[in-house]
């Protein structure tokens, strides 16, 4: 199975886990007969020659990692639907609705969210996102969608929708654009390598891996002052300046995750940490005074590394170790 399909399967399983006992958020009936392995087995190849656009039907609960045109048609009243989109780390998504046929007066809705939101947890967190939370929603029923595309601020976005009348729905086209300085990212794969750079900007960036992983940081640069490395701060990373933190947790929102390690002085050479959580995050806090850069590699932890004798299930607790 190609890696991005593995992510889709893994993510869908996480969504299903999140749905247990919470039928308000997404449509449980749809989720119940949902077979991620079947659904994604017929995916196309990204690098097929030619410019032919990928087209397929969108499901009430769906996950897409390829550009294309997607059509949702309600089979019956479908009231709690969500489609999660993910691009490569260095991509932004642009979302354009070609056709919308819903009845706002009956309580239907169709909203684009700049990021992912699941059970009230957002990625990027409101702390790390450049725009206020309310502005991250574009609501068709409030203002319509202007002809231009809605552009995401990172490699993930989603649409939330509710359609009462069978036969109603919409068609959406997803495209990708390059992003020179990716800030907030969800990794498509459980293994990889990434360099996060914040070039003299007062902002914070989170790189999220929704798997239990081992993370190896090989390089950390936190600014230079006249060619000299900054001095080690005397009292931890708290309060001031620029630093990198490793976070672990079960939800999507980095601001609600457990801080596992802080790194606040530059170094070269590997520092490794195992994070046995559903979600692992490398977060960089940047004052804007320096060019900050962190390079890391990550590998999915094998079940035996999680200290979980039953092997298959997602661990309940979120243990970590250096
Ligand atoms: C970045 O995060 C730090 C600590 O988490 C916070 O104090 C600061 O306000 C944030 N900066 C921005 C630009 O959001």
Tell me what pLDDT residue 91 has.
97
Pairing of strands 185-186, 204-209: parallel
Same fold, 3-178 and 190-318: yes
Looking at CATH, the fold of the domain delimited by 3-178 is given as Jelly Rolls (2.60.120)
Q: Is 254 left (phi over 0), alpha (psi -120 to 50) or beta?
A: alpha
Residue nearest to atom 4 of ligand 1 (CA): 285
Is-contact 196 245, C-beta < 8 A? no
From residue 58, alpha-carbon distances to 37, 68, 134, 147 in Å are 16, 11, 26, 21
- Residues 91-144 pLDDT 10s: 999 999 999 999 999 999 999 999 999 888 999 999 899 889 999 999 999 988
Q: What integer best gives the mean pLDDT of the chain?
A: 81
pLDDT of residue 121: 92
Q: How far is the CA of 292 from the centre of ligand 1 (A)?
A: 15
Instruction: Tell me what pLDDT residue 161 has.
Output: 97
What are the domain boundaries of the chain? 3-178, 190-318
The protein residue whose alpha carbon is closest to atom 2 in ligand 1 is 285
Report cis status (omega within 30 of 0) of the bond before 124. Answer: yes
Asked whether 9 and 15 are in contact (CB, 8 A), the reply is: no
59: Cβ below 6 Å to ligand 1? no
Q: Give, in order, the Cα–Cα distances in Å from 256 to each of 120, 248, 268, 301.
A: 11, 9, 29, 22
Pocket test for ligand 1, best of 204, 257, 282, 292 (most atoms within 8 A of CB): 204
Mutate to test the pocket of ligand 1, among 124, 126, 127 (most ligand atoms within 8 A of CB): 127
How many A from CA of 21 to the centre of ligand 1?
34
- Rg from Cα positions in the chain: 20
Instruction: Tell the residue number behind the tokens 């020179």, with chain if given.
Output: 180
Pairing of strands 267-276, 319-321: antiparallel
Report the separation in Å between the CA atom of 66 and the middle of ligand 1, taken as the mean of its atom positions.
Answer: 33
Task: Compute the distance from residue 321 Cα to the ligand 1 centre, in Å.
Answer: 26
**Secondary structure of residue 55 in the 3-state scheme:** strand
The closest residue, in CA terms, to atom 12 on ligand 1 is 203
Q: Are residues 18 and 250 in contact, defined by beta-carbon separation less than 8 angstroms?
A: no
Low-confidence ranges of the chain (pLDDT < 70): 1-51, 146-147, 224-240, 307-322
CA–CA dist 42, 19 (Å, integer): 25
Q: What angle (nearest 5°) sits at the alpha carbon of residue 134, between those of residues 84 and 248?
A: 55
Position in ligand 1 atom list of the atom nearest CA 286: 1
pLDDT for position 90: 97
Dump pLDDT digits (tens) for 81-99: 999 999 999 999 999 999 9
> How far apart (Å, rounded) are the C-alpha atoms in residues 191 and 164?
41
Element spanning 10, H or E: helix 3-19
Tell me the CATH number of domain 190-318, given options 3.30.230.70, 2.40.30.10, 3.30.70.2190, 2.60.120.290: 2.60.120.290
DSSP letter string over 97-143? EEEEE--GGGT-EEEEESSEEETTEEES-TTT-SS-GGGGEEEHHHH
């Amino acid at each position: 199975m190609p890696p991005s399909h593995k992510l889709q399967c893994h993510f869908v399983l996480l969504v299903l886990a999140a749905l247990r006992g919470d039928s308000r958020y997404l449509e449980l009936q749809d989720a119940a007969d949902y077979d991620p392995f079947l659904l994604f087995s017929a995916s196309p190849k990204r690098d097929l020659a030619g410019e032919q656009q990928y087209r397929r039907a969108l499901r009430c609960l769906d996950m897409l990692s390829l550009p294309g045109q997607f059509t949702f048609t309600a089979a019956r009243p479908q009231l709690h639907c969500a489609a999660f989109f993910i691009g490569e780390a260095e991509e932004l998504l642009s979302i354009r609705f070609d056709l919308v046929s819903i009845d706002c007066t009956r309580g239907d809705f169709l909203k684009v969210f700049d990021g992912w939101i699941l059970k009230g947890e957002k990625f990027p967190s409101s702390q790390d996102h450049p725009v206020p939370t309310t502005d991250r929603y574009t609501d068709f029923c409030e203002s319509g969608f202007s002809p231009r595309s809605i552009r995401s601020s990172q490699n993930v976005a989603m649409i939330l929708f509710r359609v009462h009348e069978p036969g109603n729905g919409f068609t959406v086209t997803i495209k990708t654009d390059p992003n020179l300085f990716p800030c907030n990212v969800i990794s498509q794969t459980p293994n990889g390598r990434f360099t996060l750079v914040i070039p003299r900007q007062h902002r914070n960036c989170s790189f999220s891996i929704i798997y239990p992983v081992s993370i190896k940081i090989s390089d950390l640069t936190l600014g230079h002052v006249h060619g000299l490395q900054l001095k080690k701060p005397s009292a931890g990373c708290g309060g001031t300046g620029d630093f990198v933190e490793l976070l672990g947790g079960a939800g999507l929102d980095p601001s609600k995750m457990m801080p596992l390690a802080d790194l606040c002085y530059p170094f070269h050479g590997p520092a490794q940490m195992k994070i046995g959580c559903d979600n692992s995050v490398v977060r960089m806090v940047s004052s804007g005074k320096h060019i900050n850069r962190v390079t890391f590699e990550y590998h999915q932890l094998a079940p035996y590394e999680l200290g979980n004798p039953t092997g298959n299930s997602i661990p309940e607790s979120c243990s970590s170790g250096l």
